[in-house]
Copies of this chain bind each other. A is one copy, B any other.
């Protein structure tokens, strides 16, 4: 075990996979100087300009070229800088990368990883703060991953790079500096398996990415009131770990999904609806969701905070869920 940041864990994942497999390479703007957050620091020196490729500011072509390169025997890691800029490359991801294997009858695969840093990050305003993971879960062909700890960022990024499907890999910008222990050796985390971040009997919190921390904090607060929350960090959003979630809700009878994205049509809707469909008669309270209101993220902190899911808001939402059941 060594201590590492979330950022450094991602960097280690790239290094290990590039050392293991010569067909892995990375492309994106400013990668030669380490990338905008330092995720690629020193990598061009290690692997050369061919495998750590600086690109023009051409998101559509970055994504499209990665699709072509993935079809042609390489495994590109696409760096989109901010997930918001990936909106300049949606045709390439959704109409091309996600559909090619199917559309062409399985003649090839498109093994690429799109790294899309997501989420709110100190006054970054409307165009640098989005979390659009639910979009990608809706698109057949795509795998969607959202790690929330350094160890998971190591193990999931390695798994994503080895996966033969196109993977949208969403690191949270606010987690770059988060420290945690990293296992030694070839640490892999399987795609599609949730992590029970905290066990509890009273209510199930399903979450991912930046909200894992907030849920754990909220769980502490609730514990002092005698409410024991189970916190499930999904880690992979598609495919999501139904078994883990259903087992937990069968036990607790209560579900709150917590995510940073806008609640309306967020991925919480899918989970809440799935649980309501499957476990309606086991629920002690209605399923519930906590996400951002349907507003763009503002710059000034007073307004920005209205779009931020805080531990206090999670606590309040859990308390609401714990209220005695309405008589039907």
Q: Tell me the number of copies of this protein.
A: 2
Interface 0/1 of A289-311, CB less than 8 Å to B: 10001111010000000000000
Which of B84, B267, B295, B327 touches A265 (beta carbons < 8 Å)?
B267
CB-CB < 8 A to A264: which residues of B?
137-138, 238, 270
CB-CB < 8 A to A127: which residues of B?
95, 99, 103
CB-CB < 8 A to A272: which residues of B?
269, 272-273, 276-277
Q: What distance in Å separates the Cβ of A80 from its nearest Cβ neighbour in chain B? A: 12
Q: How distant is the Cα of A295 from the Cα of B102 in the complex, in angstroms?
A: 9
Interface 0/1 of A62-101, CB less than 8 Å to B: 0000000000000000000000110110110011001100
Assess whether A125 is in contact with B103, with CB atoms less than 8 Å apart.
Answer: yes
Interface 0/1 of A154-186, CB less than 8 Å to B: 000000000000000000000000000000000
Which of B138, B141, B295 touches A135 (beta carbons < 8 Å)?
B138
Q: How distant is the Cα of A56 from the Cα of B167 in the complex, in angstroms?
A: 33
Residue among A103, A139, A273, A281 with the most chain B CB within 10 A? A273
CB-CB < 8 A to A325: which residues of B?
281
Q: How distant is the Cα of A95 from the Cα of B85 in the complex, in angstroms?
A: 9
**Which chain A residues numbered 246 to 283 have a C-beta less than 8 Å away from chain B?**
261-262, 264-270, 272-273, 276-278, 280-283
Assess whether A277 is in contact with B286, with CB atoms less than 8 Å apart.
Answer: yes
Q: How distant is the Cα of A141 from the Cα of B321 in the complex, in angstroms?
A: 30
A126 at interface (Cβ–Cβ under 8 A)? Answer: yes
Q: What distance in Å separates the Cβ of A158 from its nearest Cβ neighbour in chain B? A: 25
Assess whether B281 is in contact with A328, with CB atoms less than 8 Å apart.
Answer: yes
Which of B85, B102, B287 touches A277 (beta carbons < 8 Å)?
B287
Range of interface residues on A (Cβ < 8 Å): 35 or more
Assess whether B95 is in contact with A265, with CB atoms less than 8 Å apart.
Answer: no
Q: How distant is the Cα of A293 from the Cα of B140 in the complex, in angstroms?
A: 9
Residue among A88, A94, A269 with the most chain B CB within 10 A? A269
Q: How distant is the Cα of A90 from the Cα of B135 in the complex, in angstroms?
A: 12
Residue among A87, A137, A262, A283 with the most chain B CB within 10 A? A87
Q: What distance in Å separates the Cβ of A40 from its nearest Cβ neighbour in chain B? A: 24
Assess whether A328 is in contact with B138, with CB atoms less than 8 Å apart.
Answer: no
Assess whether B266 is in contact with A138, with CB atoms less than 8 Å apart.
Answer: yes
Assess whether A135 is in contact with B137, with CB atoms less than 8 Å apart.
Answer: no
Assess whether A277 is in contact with B289, with CB atoms less than 8 Å apart.
Answer: yes
A285 at interface (Cβ–Cβ under 8 A)? Answer: yes
Which of B99, B134, B277 touches A138 (beta carbons < 8 Å)?
B134
Q: How distant is the Cα of A281 from the Cα of B280 in the complex, in angstroms?
A: 10
Residues of A at the B interface (CB closer than 8 Å) are 84-85, 87-88, 90-91, 94-95, 98-99, 102-103, 125-127, 132, 134-135, 137-141, 238, 261-262, 264-270, 272-273, 276-278, 280-283, 285-289, 293-296, 298, 325-328
Going nearest first, the 3 A-B pairs with the smallest beta carbon separation are A280-B286, A281-B328, A276-B276
